[in-house]
Every structure is written in C-alpha cells, then in structure tokens.
Amino acid sequence: MPARIGVVLFPGSNCEHDAVEAVRTLGGDAEVLWHGDDSLKGVDGVIVPGGFAHGDYLRPGAIARFSPVMQAVQAFAADGGPVVGICNGFQVLTEAGMLPGALQKNAGLKFLCRMATLRVETTDSVLTSATDEGAELRVPVNHFEGNYTCDDETLAMLRAEDRVVVRYVENVNGSIDDIAGVCNEGRNVVGLMPHPERACDELLGSSDGAPLLRSLLESASRASV
Amino acid sequence: MAERTDRDPVEQDPSVHRALGLTDDEADEIARILGRPANHLELAMYSVMWSEHCSYKSSRVHLRRLPSEAPHVLVGPGEGAGVVDVGDGIAAAFRIESHNHPSAIEPYQGAATGVGGILRDVFSMGARPIALMDPLRFGPLDDPRSRWIAEGVVSGVSGYGNSVGVPTVGGETIFDATYQGNPLVNVFCLGVLPQDRLALARASGPGNLTVLFGSATGRDGIGGASVLASASFTEGDDEKRPSVQVGDPFEEKRLIEACLEILEAGLVVGIQDLGAAGITGAASETASKGGVGMDLYLDQVHVREEGMDPFEIMISESQERMLAIVEPAKLDELLAICAKWEIAASVIGTVTGTGRFRVLDRLDGELLADIPASSLDDDAPLYERPLAEPADRAERAADTAESLPAPADAGADLLALLADTSWVWSQYDHQLFLNTVVGPGDDATVLRLKDPRTGEPTGRGLGLTTDGNHRWCRLDPRTGMAAVVAESVMNLACVGAEPLALVNCLNFGNPEHPEVMWQLSEAIDGMAEACRALSVPVIGGNVSLYNESNGVNIDPSPVIGTVGLIASLERRPPGMGLVEGTTLVVLGAPATTLSGSAWAWSQGHREGMPPQVDLDGVRATAAFVRDAVAGDRLRSVHDLAGGLGPAVAEMTVATQVGARVELPAPGGHVALFAETPAAVLAAVDPGSLDALLADAASAGVAAQVVGEAGGDRLVIGDLVDVSVAEAHGAWRDRLPTALGAGTTQG
C-alpha cells in the first residue's frame, strides 16, 4: 500500500498543490489537512508546505503554530512519525519549537527564487535516508526569510549530533554554516528551505528533489507498518 | 453633515462637476438623462464611471477596428478577461492592465495593487490564476529617482505576487529617458478553468441578492481612477498619495480560494470584481449588462471606519473586494464558504426589475441616488478627438540612422546593450504550481498545461510573451506596432507555440493632444493589420492615457501579451544558449533597418522609419521555426528583434559558449545592429544543416549560414572580438551595479 502523506493547509499556504502532485508522481498517496482540524486522519507522514501561512503576518510561522492541526502534528512527531517542513513549513516548525534555530531575512535583503545546489550531509533522517551522503542535488530556493541562524551552543550541538541534513554548496542567503536543512533529535522531523517538490521532473529543470521525497515516502511506509 | 449635501441637487454651480473631472457638456448630458440636475452623490458616480480610465471615451471608437473573433475565442473584449478554448474542455482566461500612475506616486503599493487588480479580473471569471507577467518601463538607470521607482515597483510585484501565491513567469524590463517621471507598470495575468465554470458579470432575476465580500470598504483610493489615471502629472504629486490604494495579498489569497470554491459549487448567477469606481462600477455594470435594476443599502456595507459619506462608500477603491449576485436559497452556502476562508461578506442590495440603479441609506430608507442603471456604462461619452499627424513626419522619416557615423568601437557598443534581467525576476517566485518549463529571461515563457479539475498534465503547453517597442512605435506607430505583433509571434515560434490570441495595454500620452490621438489610431491600425495577417485575435486589453510628465508625452508604448499553444510538450525547447560546434543560420529575411534600433537610440538618433515587415514572410518563417522546434531540429534559437549582434551576444552569455559570425548584407555596423521581428538566429548540428536548408527552401523561407558556435571568444566580422568572459561580465553586472548605486526619492 502506498504511504499516505498529509499536506497541511493554512490560509495563505500556496505550495500544497505542488507537494500533493510530487508525492503522487512518486507513487505515494496525498491528502490536504485543513489547519482548523485537530486530526491527521491517520496519515503515515506529514508535509508542512511552503507559502505564506496567515500572510506571514507578525513573523513567518508565528501565527500558524497556534492552529489546531499543529497540536496533532506535534503529537504525531513525538510518536516518531515523519514530518518534513519545506520553506514556510520549516519556519512554522522552528516557531513551534519542533526544530532548533530560526530563519531571518536573506543576507541580500531581497526575495530570492533560483536554483541552488545542496550537499547531503547525513543519510540518517527521514528526508535523506534514500540518498547518498555527499550527493549534490540541484533544488530551487524561493524565500525572503531563509537565512538560518542559531546560537553557538545550538550550532555546536547540531554539528556534534550530525543534525545538519543538507548544506548549500554555494551559500545563497547567508545561512550560518551554509545550513539549508536540519533535523530534530529523533531525526524524524526535518525542515529545509529549498523546495524538493519543485525538482521532481526533468521537464521543469531538475529531478534531484525526487530522492528526498522518496526518502520521506519510505520513512512513512515504515512508520505505517 | 455630508449626507445632506450629497443628496441635494446641484444647482447650476459648475465648480462641483469640474472639480470631479466632468466637463460642462458631460454635466449637461447627465442632467438630460436624469431629467433634473444630479445631486453630489450622483455626480460622483458619473464622474468615476465616465472617467477616461473606466469609459475608454477617447479610445473606444478606434478599438472597434481590432479583430476579436476566432472559433476558439470563447469570450472577447468587454469582460474581466478574454477567454480561449485550449482543448479537453479547458479554457485559458487572460488580460493585461496598467498601473502606471499609482506606481509613479508610490511604487511599491502601485505595483502591488496592480497585481491584485489583474488577478481579480481573472479569478472573477472562474479561472485559477497560474501566471503573472510584468512588462516594466523605467527612466534611465543613471537617474536616482528612476532607480527608486524601479526598486519599489519590483519589490511591490514580488511582495504581492509571491505572497498571493501566483508565480510571475515573465515580462520585460526597459530603462529609457522617455519614462523618466512616468514609469509604465503593466501586469498580465493568465488563469485556467474548466469551461463549464466560466462566470460572467451579469445580474439577473429580480429578488436575487447583491453580496459584497472581501475587505472592508475604507477611505483609501477615493477617486483613484479619475484622479490618478485620467489626468497628467505635475509638481506636487505627493498630495495625490491618499488616492493610491494599499494592497493585502493575504486577503486576496483567501479571496481567490473562497471565490473559486463558490464558483465551483455554482452558487452565483453573476460575479464581478471591484476595481476602479468600486461598488459603483461593479454593481452598476452587472445590472446594466443583465438588463436589470438594483437597489443598494449603504448601512449594510462593511466599512473600515465610522462616518463615511455615501459618496466615499460608493466610489472607494479599497482592494480585495468582490460582488456577487446570489439566489436567496443559496446565500447560506455562500456565506459558509466565506466564513471558512475568514472572508467578510454582506448582503448589500437586491436585483430589481426596474432598470433603475438606486442607492438608499438603508432598506426602505432614504433615497440618495436614482439613475438609469445602463446610463453609467452605455451612455458614457464617446469622443472622436481630433487627430493630427506630425507636421514634420516626412522630414523625420527621411532622417535615417544609416547617416550616423560608424562606431569607433563596435564591440564596446555591443556590450553596452547587454543586460541580465535576473536581478528583477530572481525576486519573483516563477516556479509555483510546477508548470514552469521555461521561465523568465528567454524569448517566451513555457508552461505545462494541466487540467484545472484533476491536476493531470494534458501533454500540451502554453507559450506566453509580452512585447513592446517604444522606439519602433515612436518612429512610426503603425509600422512599429505591426512589427511588435510580428515579434510576439516569432517569440512564440522560438518555443514551438502557435499563437491563440493577444491582449493589449495601450500606453500613450495625453489624448487631448492631436498628435497623441494620431499615434493611438495608427498603432491600432498597425495592430489590426498584423493580427489579421497572422491570425491573432485581440480578446481584451486596457488603455492608459495621460502618460506624460511635466507636459512631455511618453513615446507611444503599446504593449501586448500573446498566448500560444504547444500541441505536444515532450521536451524543453532549445532555448537561446549556444552549444559548442553547432552551425548558426539566420532563418527569415535578415535585418536591414538601423533606424529605431537600440544602438541608434544609444547614439541619440530618434528618427527614420522602423523595420517594415512582410507579414506573409513572418507567417511562413514563424511556422517553419515552430515546426523545427517541435521536431527537435534546433539546438538553440533566438529572435532577431534585438538585432543580430545583440542576439549572438545574448546566446553566447546564456551558456558561455563563444561564436564566430560573418555579417550578412548589408554588412558592417548596420548588419550588426539592425533589428527585425521577421527572422531568428538558429543553431543546428552540422550534420542536419543540409536537410534544414532544403526544407527552408521548399517552405519559401530564407536561410543563410552566418557562422558557428564554439570557443571562448565572440567574433563578429571585423567589428567585434571580445572574450566570452568579458561579455558575460558586462551582461551580468549591468543591473546590479547600476541599482546598487543608491536611490533617492526626491
């Protein structure tokens, strides 16, 4: 049975269709989870997609973390369920305290939509288990607040615990230590700024995002057993 | 209290209607229609609806000459957007609009609300907006205020478009002295819909309800259309800032989702967005088009603040609002969808069978305005303004750019014409919805066409391009406009797309100047002629007049957005980037006209005649190029509207592969910089060259081998010899360097 991925939809999210399409293209099953519901409807994995949840008002992710669905996502993650936050989803997960650090404005102080090259730093996460360590992947970024930051202590911890999941080969936004994505202690919650769902078809310029989402689908399948 | 003055008839005090921008003749006509003098509220309503921006009173007599019909055209001009059939029960809706004047006053909000407005035109038809494009024109890069405007406009498009969740997939960015003080901010939007979801702005069924939903109505944008878009700019424009509206992309995003859900559920009999002229425009137009009347109750309108005067409520241009006509039995379902998306909604009126458009302070309350519904729309004045061709036209046409001295350093002049526009479009999300096969920066954008109901790819694609050329149109608006249409068809051919239809945005100066009206009329004739010859119907558009600053009109700057269909989108089109070892061929009639070229302009020469276009030749060449792209016969391709030298240079910097080119007749700097919309530069594998040349000959398309791609230098005849790295650096650094030089608002 294909893994069922729930894609959370807040008012202002806009990458939910794309996440659903990419999951289905890769053989998974996907459904949209409304932010006002407090149930995940028995899905095997969760994507918190990109966009501008609640208009990014106050701060990206600052309001979304209070939505009823996030209680359910937190409980799901605490039980070891795979959760991936992409772009605005990463911002939501840091605001919700599910991932360390924060995303500040890009060093160039401009919105940036372009192709980036990522290096897989660990295969021990729900987003990279089906990839090779050191693999370079072409995946687009699309954000204004994607400049990852954290305090020295947190950075030391992330390094020591091998929790930097992907780094930029060429740092596009000023992120500390070139960090593009990190995971939690349980390695089942990953947040990253680049958009793997935008890189699942050569017709669109790259299919390098497919192994990342395939990792999530495999993790979700294992979780559902 | 203001209400008292609002409903009092205006006795013969001409200062009131003049202050509202109505002429004495127009005020007399209103009194004749009503059979009495109008009161203040009625005058305010007429003044916005009869403004140039809303009524097209100076241009309508000319616009009728454009061809608008074809079997695949489902909706032509006059609705929110034009709509074409793209197969399998799917339709594409698109439109282009200007937000020039607001952007000159407040660049960020002017551009942002321009994006918001064009989106509403498209989703009010039932289409999900999937693409925006922004043709932008700014004053010169060495002018700090022009840079301030450019930065603000780009930020505004980025800030609103990205957040509202519609990708900006293309456009143009041009800097020229003619736009100093009067930038052009045109916005194009395309949406897709199942054909059976098509919704129109029609009220019907007396007893049905008028529902206003979206943002609350406030005092922002009072008279934006009449104050800003229908008058000229002079010093002291900061006072007009309160007329510029403020956008809220989060509200618009929820409005899109709510609106599409409402239309999908079939809950409305008619729907229209609120744009210029606010409630007055949307309510009276739906009533007028449906041949019915309407009563509105102002106490039911959800407002931002207490104490708003009736005229403020009726003409406010607050953004992110929609008006729907709903059967009473379906009201609760509609209100539930609005509640889900946190959208405020109010029942503000009732459809009547009287044909009167009435405004009351409350149900069964005091009558504040009572006018024939159709008179705001149908009875708007129609002007045949005087036209005059320039007295020195023949003399100017004879002063050709061929008389200019040859460049001292053609290579340096060539590099000075290159500019990478990614500084602009890397600030736009151009990938959302997973459709973007070719994004900004190429000849045309290519999007996958997915079924809007299932999300499944259809195997087909859409080609999109926006084009305009103020240089050609200044020299001769008719010839220049025909050439712009030809260029758009050739741009689509470069990505394998066959044109379906176009929309236009006619940016001109002050229509009260006979020479400007002549430019407008001539450009429309040129567009009509080219559209007929190339089978491209014109399905909508927008006219922006009074583009002048301190008494100087802009060069005539009509812009078009053309959409084409790619029957089978199996692979990415070749793109313009050169491939090592390929042979370069000019397909189509080579360029021979130097006048009106970017190089001639750079030398300060602004006379002569633009390239004359053989439209039959363009048709044949475009078909040949399109087939060659579809058949995967070309390794790279780029149109020659920018000239052969700039085209080779752009192809070189795209992939950093050099080229060696011999200039065709007439040779020299004329062949290097002359522009034509009738030809392309293609690169083919040497092994497939002979077959391509033979097929071109049998298709009657000129084909001439001019060189080969490869190496690390760009060499053109004996005029240009530069390293690829130098060309690439010049191209890459131009905008970041210029725009990094600081700005000033003053």
Q: Give the pLDDT confidence of B647-687 residue by residue, as tens digits.
A: 999 999 999 999 999 999 999 999 999 999 999 999 999 99
**Interface list for B 238-297 with A (CB within 8 A):** 248-250, 253-254, 257
Return all residues near B253 (Cβ < 8 A) that are at least 6 apart.
A11, A12, A14, A52, A55, B163, B164, B165
Comparing CB atoms, the residue among A12, A113, A201 nearest residue B429 is A113
Measure the CA dihedral B143/B145/B148/B154, to 10°. -80
Return all residues near A118 (Cβ < 8 A) that are at least 6 apart.
A136, A137, A138, A139, A166, A167, A168, A169, A180, A181, A194
Residue pairs spanning A and B at CB distance below 8 A: 86
CB atoms within 10 A of CB B232: 18
pLDDT recorded at residue B516 = 97
Residue B263 half-sphere exposure, CB side, CA atoms within 13 Å? Answer: 29
Comparing CB atoms, the residue among A15, A22, A57 nearest residue B250 is A57
Active site residues of B: 53, 99
Mean pLDDT score of chain A, rounded to an integer?
Answer: 97
Beta bridge partners of B135: B172
User: Would you call B426 an interface residue with chain A, using a CB distance cutoff of 8 Å?
Assistant: yes
Q: What are phi and psi of B669, to 5 degrees?
A: -70, -20
Please state whether beta strands A4-9 and A29-34 pair in parallel, antiparallel, or not at all (unpaired).
Answer: parallel
What DSSP state is assigned to residue B507? E
- Residue B299 tokens read as 């106490």
d(CA B402, CA B672): 12
**Interface list for A 35-64 with B (CB within 8 A):** 51-52, 54-57
pLDDT recorded at residue B20 = 87
d(CA B506, CA B493): 24
Comparing CB atoms, the residue among A18, A112, A203 nearest residue B572 is A203
What DSSP state is assigned to residue B441? T
Lowest mean pLDDT among B10-19, B607-616, B725-734: B10-19
Q: How confident is the model at residue B743 (pLDDT cuts 50, 70, 90)?
A: low
Residue A88 has pLDDT above 90, yes or no: yes
Measure the CA dihedral B154/B160/B164/B169, to 10°. -10
The DSSP string of B69-104 is: --TTEEE-TTSSSEEEE-STTEEEEEEEEE-HHHHH
Comparing CB atoms, the residue among B342, B432, B571 nearest residue A15 is B432
pLDDT recorded at residue A174 = 97
Contacts of B432 in chain A (CB under 8 A): 14-15, 18, 142
Residue with tokens 């932010």: A35
Q: What's the length of chain B? A: 746
d(CA B465, CA B676): 17
pLDDT recorded at residue B517 = 97
d(CA B264, CA B340): 15
Mean pLDDT score of chain B, rounded to an integer?
Answer: 93
Residue A30 half-sphere exposure, CB side, CA atoms within 13 Å? Answer: 25
Residue B449 has pLDDT above 90, yes or no: yes
pLDDT recorded at residue B420 = 96
- The string of pLDDT tens digits covering residues B464-521 is 999 999 999 999 999 999 999 999 999 999 999 999 999 999 999 999 999 999 999 9
pLDDT recorded at residue B224 = 53
Q: Find the closest chain A residue to B248 by CA distance.
A: A55
| Candidates B432, B436, B451, partner chain A, best to mutate (most A CBs within 10 A) | B432
Contacts of B249 in chain A (CB under 8 A): 52, 55
Q: What does the pLDDT average to over A33-60? A: 96
pLDDT recorded at residue B12 = 62
Residue A170 has pLDDT above 80, yes or no: yes
What superfamily does domain A4-224 belong to in CATH? Class I glutamine amidotransferase (GATase) domain (3.40.50.880)
- Residue B216 tokens read as 């609350």
**Cβ contact B431–A195 (<8 Å):** yes
User: Would you call A15 an interface residue with chain B, using a CB distance cutoff of 8 Å?
Assistant: yes
Residue B327 has pLDDT above 50, yes or no: yes
Q: What does the pLDDT average to over B366-390? A: 94
**Cβ contact A55–B163 (<8 Å):** yes
**Interface list for B 483-512 with A (CB within 8 A):** none
Query: What percent of chain B has pLDDT above 90?
Result: 88
Residue B116 half-sphere exposure, CB side, CA atoms within 13 Å? Answer: 32
Return all residues near B66 (Cβ < 8 A) that are at least 6 apart.
B77, B504, B524, B527, B528, B531, B538
Residue B223 has pLDDT above 80, yes or no: no
pLDDT recorded at residue B1 = 35
Cite the DSSP H helix spans in B536-605: 598-602
User: Would you call B737 an interface residue with chain A, using a CB distance cutoff of 8 Å?
Assistant: no
Rounded to 5°, angle at Cα B200 from B195 and B204? 125
* AA identity, residue B195: Q
Number of continuous H segments (helices) and E segments (strands) in chain A: 5, 11
Residue A69 has pLDDT above 60, yes or no: yes
Contact yes or no for B316/B218 (Cβ under 8 A): yes
Domain regions of chain A by residue span: 4-224
d(CA B3, CA B441): 54
Cite the DSSP H helix spans in chain A: 16-25, 68-78, 88-95, 152-160, 210-224
**Interface list for A 141-180 with B (CB within 8 A):** 142, 144
- Residue A194 tokens read as 């680049």
Kindly tell me the burial class for residue B238, based on how many C-beta atoms sit within 10 Å of its own C-beta (0-12, 13-18, 19 or more): exposed
- The string of pLDDT tens digits covering residues B62-98 is 999 999 999 999 999 988 899 999 999 999 999 999 9
pLDDT recorded at residue B2 = 39
Residue with tokens 């003044």: B47
Contact yes or no for A47/A19 (Cβ under 8 A): yes
Q: What does the pLDDT average to over A11-25? A: 97
Nearest to B320 by CA among B232, B249, B266: B249
Residue with tokens 């060539």: B414
Residue with tokens 């209100």: B335
pTM value is 0.95
Q: Find the closest chain A residue to B446 by CA distance.
A: A204
pLDDT recorded at residue B79 = 87
- Residue B434 tokens read as 């997973």
d(CA B597, CA B587): 20
Cα B667–chain centre separation:
37
d(CA A195, CA B521): 48
Active-site pick, A15, A87, A150, A183: A87
Q: What does the pLDDT average to over B242-259? A: 88
User: Would you call A114 an interface residue with chain B, using a CB distance cutoff of 8 Å?
Assistant: yes
Q: How confident is the model at residue B3 (pLDDT cuts 50, 70, 90)?
A: very low
Nearest to B159 by CA among A17, A199, A109, A85: A109
A195 belongs to the catalytic site: yes
d(CA A161, CA A37): 34
Nearest to B546 by CA among B512, B586, B505: B512
Cα B504–chain centre separation:
6
Cα A196–chain centre separation:
9
What DSSP state is assigned to residue A13? B
- Residue B59 tokens read as 């241009």
Q: What does the pLDDT average to over B617-629? A: 98
